[in-house]
Amino acid sequence: MDLSLKPSEGLGVLHLFCKYQSSVDSEEVKKTVSEALDKGLQVVVAVILGHKADLALMVLGGALWDLRDFQSSVDSAGLKVVDSYFSLTEVSEYAAGAPEEMKQARLHPKLPPENKTAWCFYPMSKRRDPEANWYTLPYEQRSAQMHEHGRSGRNFAGRVLQVVTGSTGVDDYEWGVTLFAERPDDLKEVVYTMRFDEASAIYADFGPFYTGMVSDIDTALGHLVNEGRPYY
């Protein structure tokens, strides 16, 4: 069996949203993250706020079996995966004329960025309603709207890093959006501001939001355990 399945370009991106349980083997979780990093995978750890999850693990790598093995190891260590999202890094069809350096940054992002520990993930799709169908618009109109949307995002350059990955045909929505920011209000402001763009205001549907703080795995697990018991 060929275990080297990978995208023709770019990386696979797996988001795992986990609940901490008293049966979690913290040392095994740490070992799983360490071994993934040794394999050349990128792992972003985030402690999640709210009831939906306790911990998010964002894993990027070329070989999809490596991502699956990571998921299996997390499960074996006792973390309960309560939600997940799979996507692929990509260069948007509306960014064909972008500099090569920018294209490579989208296909092979280096994560997590320094000094941006406010973290958010959400999936989204473009609407296909009879009165607002993105996919029946002429390419020129879609391109103009996406360029407007891009200009709004670039106003946050240096404050917010946006990682937009494609998931059409591989998960429930069409894109996954992961945001890294210096402060939580930066996350709120960038999403609020960009929702006024026509591409978002008329044509975007959003899934659930997960928000938290980027951390190393030791610190994250330390905050989830209180004398061997979950905080909640």
Q: What is the pLDDT of residues 146-188, one digit of tens each?
A: 999 988 988 999 999 999 999 999 999 999 999 999 999 999 9
Question: What's the CATH superfamily of 9-232?
Answer: Apc35880; domain 1 (3.30.70.1030)
pLDDT at 228 over 60: no
Q: What is the pLDDT of residues 93-151, one digit of tens each?
A: 888 778 899 889 999 999 999 999 999 999 999 999 999 999 999 999 999 999 999 88
Structure tokens at 158: 């240096």
Calculate the alpha carbon distances from 14 to 38, 79, 80, 226 in Å: 17, 16, 15, 28
Closest alpha carbon to 132 in 44, 49, 199, 41: 199
- Percent of the residues in the chain that have a pLDDT greater than 70, as a whole number: 96
Catalytic, out of 20, 85, 122, 210: 122
| Residue 37 banded pLDDT, cuts 50, 70, 90 | very high
Tell me what the mean pLDDT of segment 13-39 comes to: 97
DSSP letter assigned to residue 94: G
Measured distance CA(56)–CA(34) in Å, rounded: 16
122 catalytic residue (yes or no): yes
Calculate the alpha carbon distances from 117 to 133, 160, 179 in Å: 36, 10, 10
